[in-house]
Structure 1
Amino acid sequence: MQNPQHFPPTLPVPPTLPVIVEEDFTYPFAIAPIFTQGQKNIAAANVALERNDLVLVCCQKAESSPESNSDEKVDSSAMPFYDVGVVCKILRKVSLPDGRVKILLQGMAITKVIALEPQTSEEDDSVIEAIVEIIEYQDYNQVRVEAMMKFLLENVQNYANISHFPPEMLKTLEETNDPNRVIDLVASTLRLKPAEAYKLFASDNIEERMMMLIDFVTQEIQAQKLQKEIKSRVHDKLEQTNREYFLKEQMRQIQKELGVDKQRDEELDEFAKKLESIKQFLNEDAYKEIKKQINRLSKMHQDSADANLLQNYVEWVLEIPFGSYAKGELSIKNVAKQLDLDHYSLTKPKERIIEYFAVRELLAKNAKANAKKTKNRDTESQKSKGTILCFYGPPGVGKTSLANSIAKAISRPLVRIALGGLEDVNELRGHRRTYIGAMPGRIVQGLIEAKEMNPVVVLDEIDKIARGVRGDPTSVLLEILDPEQNVEFRDYYTNFSIDLSQVIFIATANDIAQIPAPLRDRMEFISISSYTPQEKEQIAHKYLIPQELKKHGLTDKQIQFSKESVRVLIERYTREAGVRNLRRQISAILRKVATKVLQDEDFTPIKLTPKQIPDFLDKVVFEIEQSNKKARIGIINGLAWTSVGGDVLKIEAIKLKGTGELRLTGSLGDVMKESAQIAHSVVKVLLESGELESKIKSKDKAKGPMYNQYNIHLHLPEGATPKDGPSAGIAMACVIASILCEKPISGEIAMTGELTLTGDVLQIGGLKEKLIAAHKAGIKRALIPAKNYERDLKEIPKEVLDHLTIIPVQTIHDVFAEVFKRG
């Protein structure tokens, strides 16, 4: 049968039409508006209106832009849009306020684009012109097509039953005999993808078009059924959830009426029983508060928000181990044994820790004796109190590990609370229950974690507490660390007092100067100072190497560290007061050894020597520069304390012609700048009085003394590192006197001490770290204040005293006598 012509014969299609490019296909027989602001599309519409109101509407290809064009004819495969479109009649064109243009189109016929050619009109050369040809469909078997069309309409009816299909469209389809019109009408309602619509438009075989459309309708039916099934499942799930909720609620009400609401009642009974079991260990306020909240919980609906908050509260407070104390008896023998087992050296700290527990043990024995006499059951856990210990010193010297050893020795749980950067007071005291997510403070949580009321609590880095807008945590610590106040420590969350008097608090800090004075008053400080190289060697062989071998799955038969290799690691590969970096370097070596053991089948045991260390470690760090034995003018060794131990600080000076001014560089703090000014003034006084003889003769006496004719530039190397502190006065005075008097200073001498305007030498702190640093740098003589010599020399390690001559000085005269007479 011949395909009927569905384009109006009274409206012939011209061979060339302007092209409008859109994102979707426009279908024949449809009246549809398009909104566009593309200049080429608007120009094409204007040209069409000027000619015959006809325009070709094509669909843009995904990878192309509708604005793309060419100045010459191109092949259809290279066009920026599909080569099949619909000839449309422009019914109306309206310009909108937002700059867009609304064009009302009526689809007429499907056409094939033969080629493109540019518009030659001078008025608008941006319009895309296309040479077109109407697609003529092939003859078809009427019986087959009618059967296929009947099957198609049945599928469309099924599709309409499960989707929003226009009812009037069904009626139109039933009244239409033209299969092409039916195909185009159905396709316009399916929202086909551009590639699918193109296949449907481009085919001139009606049977093929019909089969394609049947497939598309079938796919849409399956997709709609799947969506409906998913929606139904979600709806059923919600229905089931709501149904279960209402059934459970009804069951709960029925059980309540019958008196068989077991789960709820059992839970409340358990809370009440637990409260009664610990009643004897609670003060009156605590018992009343907990009982009050349990009663409130019993009256509330279990699904209400307040009930959840109350239940969390009751569960938290009943987890606090009231009345539960560690049963291990104190024994200073066990403490001493454990400390010696875990730590080398640290004689003074160990003595103080043993004294601390000796007092507690004696109090415990006295309490037991009194209890027997008075038949009182109170024990040490309710009676003994003590001071708060604070271990302070550089990182890596064993502050926290000492606390671990203490807890192990007295058989008590250890709780570590990191205070570094803490700025919210509620972190320690707890949040009030009015806040969402409220919970007890870290102290109470620590008791719950320990499951004992007398654990060892380590307050780590207490010197690094911050102060912010949420309060000052230091104020809470004042209460926690005061034995007279922490008997009734009040947590905001629990809302009752808790006895912390049996908790052993041990604080750690790097710099006690950063701790507020009121808080310092609550603690007794034990200095854990730097290790000497000899101590580090012993620690490495006895503790670090065996521990790291075990961690890395190695044995001492696979690798052995010689004494010389450990000494090189200490002297050249670490820069610290403690042994933390030394442990890291040992660990780095063992990792490489472990890799070799697995990769090398013929692995031979390694005995590590200094020459082999560079094969395992690639960076050498010199801790302290060795002293220069040569005597030089204007250079002296000062001794300084840092947060990571002692250091030898070079101080340099030069003189320049000037007016007697003093210039300071090297990132000095205010205290050190004042020390330099004092030292400068003291040297001037001594030069004027003749007590300090200068080798420089004044050339012009009219200009005044010699020192007024020279400016002094004093510098401390490593200017990027801030330096401050009251202990460099005598060293600065010596280097200024050296440069003005042209007297050399021995490189084997170092000194520390503050200077007054009258020339007295004041005592300083950190003497042990400073002298250890001098010993490491190869210094032979060290000048220190006489008061430190009398008071602190007992704390200096023996190996330092054996290799270092320590000279006490009281005045600047004593200093100059030692420096210049022998220099």
Structure 2
Amino acid sequence: MPDTYTTGTGGMQLPVMTLREVVMFPRAIVPLFVGRKASIAAVEHALEQYNKRILLVAQKEPEVETPGQDDLFAMGAICKILQLLRLPDGTVKVLFEGQNRAYWRPVEDRFSFEGESVALAEVQMLQENDPDNPEARALIRTTQEAVQKYSKINKQLAQETLMAISSIDRPGRLADVIMPHLKVEYTQKQAVLEVQDPLERLEQTYALLEGEIEVSSLERQIKSRVKDQMQSNQRDYYLNEQLKAIKKEMGQEDDPQAELDELLERLQAKDMPDHAREKAEKEIKKLRQMPPSSAEYTVVRNYIDWILDLPWNHLKQTELDLQQAEQILDEDHYGLEKPKQRILEYLAVQTLVEKMQGSILCFVGPPGVGKTSLSKSIARSTGREFVRLSLGGVRDEAEIRGHRRTYVGALPGKIIQSLKRAQSNNPVFCLDEVDKMSMDFRGDPSAALLEVLDPEQNVAFNDHYLDLDYDLSHIFFITTANYLEAIPAPLRDRMEIIKLSGYLETEKLQIARKFLLPKQLHKNGLDPEQVSVSDGALLEVIRRYTREAGVRNLERQIASICRKLAKEKVEGKGEIRSSKVTKTSVGSLLGVPDYRYGQREKEPQVGVATGLAWTEMGGELLLVEVALMPGKGKVEITGKIGDVMQESARAALSYIRSRSDLFGLRSDFYEGIDVHVHVPEGATPKDGPSAGITLATSLISALLHIPVRNDVAMTGEITLRGRVLPIGGLREKLLAAHRGLIRTVLIPKDNEKDLKEVPEAIRRDLEILPVEHMDDVLPLALLDSPAENLFCGRDDENIPLARRLRKEESLPPTH
């Protein structure tokens, strides 16, 4: 036991009276009505034999009529009987005064009093030693202020009680006096009773008191709101009764029973599962017993309407024709061969089986590559309804599973709502932006999607509002995402990932010619026969006014051209001056170009290498610059790069130091210089394990003062031994190299197998060279200059520094 308590002498026996949902505290005076015969006998025996003292112990479960030791709490309160009043119905009203808290154990001996068996207990009384320190005084003052605040909300506290509480200066006694006046569960009161440390007991009392203040404040607000609503309902009821009387006089009286009969007829004609039909019949029966003016009537009626409006067993009849489906997919989208092939495989299997439970397709790719529009094409090619649900920013689990009907304004989840709009139970359901869901205190919506997208579980999806199992297995679910890593792993495991990378320049030209331009001409009221846009003009827009993996910005630029032509048509009263848009006229329509076509350096540079990076928007060229300065061996890395690229830079420098002899460098070359590695476009975050050989090439170029070829790009991670490790996103990186006018690309040897995924046009235009070691990279990346011209270049001020780093200034460095 804590030091703040001392125990009394053992062997003290008292009769036991059990309490239901009441906890007695020391120093509390509480009147209780006693009705059980055993309890009355215990009170009578205490008055006659034990000097009016009795032990009051609370029951754990109030339903138990004759509780034993295991049904009672281990701690109770020794009380004194102050007053007893016998009532005509046989019960007694007793006024108890709590004196001490005490542990107890039963005594085997029991005694009989007027035919009733009364239990005796051996009690171990606890004496309390209240601390007196600044912390205790501060807690007492804070609690007394909270009691004053509570008394303003709860008017049942008498002024005498408040005065008594304000005069108490002991924490344990203050807690014992306050607790009987709080409207909290008896289990919480018992927990406070059993706290032996006075300060801790008062802290718990203060916490419960603050909770009661908040609850009481909310109760007042609710009562005020309900009162206003009742007044409004009374007014509405009066007006409704008047309206009914008017309609009755005019012979237009509504019959609620006729409306319910109509619901029953709809139910009988509806094709639905038996469990849903039984639930609807039960709710209609409940509705017959309610007055139409009650608030619950509307709630039940809305629930029945939802059940009747859902397409439970209604499947839209579709005739699958693979050739027609392939033709529709080709009409709507140019390229995207792998996604189209997977869709046709799905449709082929569906023609052979009545019901297919397979993988959920997930289209992953940069914005604007056609993920959502491809889903629409699937619906059109299969003859199904199309439903789209955007999950971007969804953070409430109820958006997926629905609200329970206990809430005001409860609705089913978005899945059920969308099926009601589709009016068929086998649509193509596109869950857009599945990677942009988030979670907070309202739940995790991605976890709720697990049941929706699992083919083994969605046959019995349970919406919280319906509280009925709904079969989602007939739905063709398609999800889209920009970033695969943002999708939770359990959810990603239930989907088949199909990656849609960026389009080639030739593909963008065909998409603009066949899809985007006709669409925008029609939307802007232009006749295609009056407007001619050359391929050179479209290429100019693609190269100098957009830089993206998809075609969304390309469509915006084409729309801008069409709007300007529409303005000329209106001003010219039907005639367009720029009816023929060429490469030279694009600038007058769109203004100054936004981008420079191709990012590679115009000529070879010392310490500047071109790398390849993968981003959510597709592939990008990544320039790495290295500058050397006289110093003390400091290495600085800038350009808003992540931890992975910083580690790659350090690994590249360590690799060069370990092979300084082979590069013709002095073994202590790094001690007299400072190295600054910079990746331009510092506002853009960059990271990933694919820039190791680029960083190493830039460092070696700067140290040996040998220019790097400007038509060579490279990608791959480096080890301390100089090995080149494989990377990801090869297709997107090669697209970026092709877009940036690169001619030669160095890739890891282990990625050679991934070239099958690269379009033939890219492989034909690029010279792709696999490398295994930095010894393979340097001869291909560094400019093979004659020894006498080795130190020629525009940055002549760095030549002396590069010479000083070599072991023998008379010998040119080798590479």
TM-score normalised by the chain length of structure 1: 0.64
Equivalent residue, structure 1, for 2:240 = 245
Partners of 2:734 and 2:543 lie apart in 1 by 16
Inter-partner Cα distance in structure 1 for 2:571 and 2:340: 45
2:622 corresponding residue in structure 1: 649
Q: Quote the residue 2:546 is aligned against.
A: 574
Residues 605 and 708 of structure 2 are in contact (CA less than 8 Å); yes or no, is this contact kept in structure 1? yes
Q: Quote the Cα distance in structure 2 between the aligned partners of 1:528 and 1:748.
A: 27
Alpha-carbon distance change, 243 to 820 in structure 1, aligned in 2, over 3 angstroms? closer
- CA drift at 1:772: 1.1
Q: Per-residue displacement from partner, 1:148-191 (whole Å, max 9, x unpaired)? A: xxxxxxxxxxxxxxxxxxxxxxxxxxxxxxxxxxxxxxxxxxxx
Which residue identity does 1:727 align to in structure 2? S
Residues 804 and 262 of structure 1, relative CA distance in 2, 3 Å threshold: same
CA distance in 2, matches of 1:624, 1:496: 59
Deviation at 1:537, TM superposition (A): 0.7
**Are the aligned partners of 2:237 and 2:293 in contact in 1 as well (CA < 8 Å)?**
no
The residue that corresponds to 1:122 in the other structure is none
Deviation at 1:361, TM superposition (A): 1.9
Q: 1:334–1:410: 8 Å Cα contact kept in structure 2?
A: no
Displacement of 1:396: 0.5
Which whole-Å CA distance do the structure 1 matches of 2:401 and 2:669 have between them?
66
Residues 515 and 283 from structure 1, CA distance in 2 versus in 1: closer, same or farther, beyond 3 angstroms?
Answer: farther
- 1:537 aligned to 509, 514, 517, which one? 509
The equivalent of 1:797 in structure 2 is 759
Hey, what's the Cα distance between the residues in 2 that align with 1:605 and 1:615?
10
Q: 2 CA distance for matches of 1:272 and 1:445?
A: 22
Write out aligned runs for 1:44-63 (5 A): none
Aligned to 2:279: 289
Q: Contact 1:456 / 1:504 at 8 angstroms: preserved in 2?
A: yes
Distance 2:243 2:636 in 1: 86
The residue that corresponds to 1:809 in the other structure is 771
Q: Is the 8 A contact 1:360 1:385 kept in 2?
A: no
1:752/1:241 Cα in 2 relative to 1: closer, same or farther (>3 Å)?
closer
Shift in alpha-carbon separation, 1:499–1:707, aligned structure 2, 3 A? same
Q: Does residue 446 in structure 1 map to residue 418 in structure 2?
A: yes
Counterpart residue type for residue 440 of structure 2? G
2:706 touches 2:783 (CA, 8 Å); kept in 1? no
Q: Is the partner of 1:648 in helix, strand or coil?
A: strand
Closer, same or farther: CA 243–682 of 1 in aligned 2, 3 Å: closer
Q: What is the CA distance between 1:625 and its match in structure 2?
A: 3.8
Distance 1:822 1:490, change over 3 A: farther
CA distance in 2, matches of 1:348, 1:756: 35
Change (3 A) 1:416 1:549: same
Query: Which letter does structure 2 place at the counterpart of 1:269?
Result: D
In structure 2, how many angstroms separate the alpha carbons of the residues matched to 1:353 and 1:415?
A: 17
Find the aligned partners of 1:426 and 1:288 in 2 and give their Cα distance: 25
The percentage of aligned residue pairs carrying the same residue is: 44
Kept in 1, the 8 Å contact 2:244–2:253? The answer is: no
1:264 to 252, 256, 259: 256
Contact 1:289 1:495 in 2 (8 A): no
Q: 2:342 aligns with which of 335, 341, 352?
A: 352
Separation in structure 1 between the aligned mates of residue 742 and residue 416 of structure 2, nearest angstrom = 52
Provide the TM-score with structure 2 as the length reference. Answer: 0.65
2:317 match: secondary structure: coil
| CA 435–243 in structure 1, closer or farther in 2 if over 3 Å, else same | closer
State how far apart, in whole Å, the 1-side matches of 2:500 and 2:643 are: 28
| Inter-partner Cα distance in structure 2 for 1:745 and 1:325 | 64
Distance change in 2, residues 1:400/1:239 (3 Å):
closer
Structure 1 counterpart SS, 2:606: coil
In 1, Cα distance between equivalents of 2:455 and 2:547: 39
Displacement after TM superposition at 1:246 (Å): 3.2
- Could you tell me which residue of structure 2 aligns to residue 409 of structure 1? 381
SS in 1 for 2:659: helix
Question: Which has the larger displacement, 778-787 or 348-357?
Answer: 348-357
The count of corresponding residues between Structure 1 and Structure 2 is 551
Could you report, residue by residue, the CA deviation over 1:543-599 in whole angstroms, capped at 9, with x for unpaired residues? 111111111111222211011111100000112111111111111111111111111
Equivalent residues of 2:707, 2:783 under 8 A apart = no
Query: How far is 1:693 from its partner?
Result: 3.3
1:585-639 deviation per Cα after TM superposition (whole angstroms, max 9, x unaligned): 1111111111111111354561111221122112411165432252221000011
Paired position in structure 2 for 1:400: 372
Q: What does 1:147-296 align with in structure 2 at a 5 Å threshold?
A: 245-247=240-242, 263-278=255-270, 281-284=272-275, 286-296=276-286
State the alpha-carbon separation in 1 of the partners of residues 738 and 235 from structure 2. 81
Structure 1 segments unaligned to the other structure (5+ residues) = 1-237, 255-259, 364-379, 699-703
| Partners of 2:236 and 2:371 in 1: CA distance | 57
Gaps of 5+ in 2: 1-232, 786-815
1:747 aligned counterpart, secondary structure = coil
Please say which structure displays the higher CA radius of gyration: 1
* Residue of 452, 458, 468 corresponding to 1:496: 468
Cα shift at 1:454: 0.6
> 2:641 aligned with 1:668, yes or no?
yes
Give the whole-Å Cα distance in 1 for the aligned partners of 2:696 and 2:597.
Answer: 23
Amino acid at match of 1:302: P
Using the TM superposition, give the Cα deviation of residue 247 of structure 1 relative to its aligned residue in structure 2, in angstroms. Answer: 4.8
Shift of 1:251: 9.7
Aligned to 2:804: none
Where 2:490 maps in the other structure, the secondary structure is helix
Aligned to 1:607: 580
Structure 2 counterpart SS, 1:459: strand
**How many angstroms does 1:283 deviate by?**
4.6
Write the distance in 1 (CA, Å) between the matches of 2:636 and 2:357. 56
Quick one: structure 1 residues 685 and 559, their matched pair in 2 at CA, closer, same or farther if it must change by over 3 Å? same
What is the match of residue 451 of structure 2? Answer: 479
Amino acid at match of 2:322: I
Over the aligned positions, Cα root-mean-square deviation in angstroms equals: 2.4
Matches within 5 A, 1:409-808: 409-601=381-573, 603-604=576-577, 606-622=579-595, 625-687=598-660, 690-694=661-665, 698=666, 705-790=668-753, 792-808=754-770
Residues 454, 712 of structure 1: alpha-carbon distance in 2 compared, 3 angstrom cutoff: same
Matching residue's letter, 1:338 = I
The 10-residue stretch of structure 1 (677-686 or 409-418) with the greater mean CA deviation from structure 2: 677-686
Conservation of the 8 A alpha-carbon contact between 2:395 and 2:445: yes
Q: Please tell me whether the aligned partners of residues 360 and 386 of structure 1 are also in contact (alpha carbons under 8 angstroms).
A: no
Distance 2:692 2:258 in 1: 76
Partner of 1:315: 305
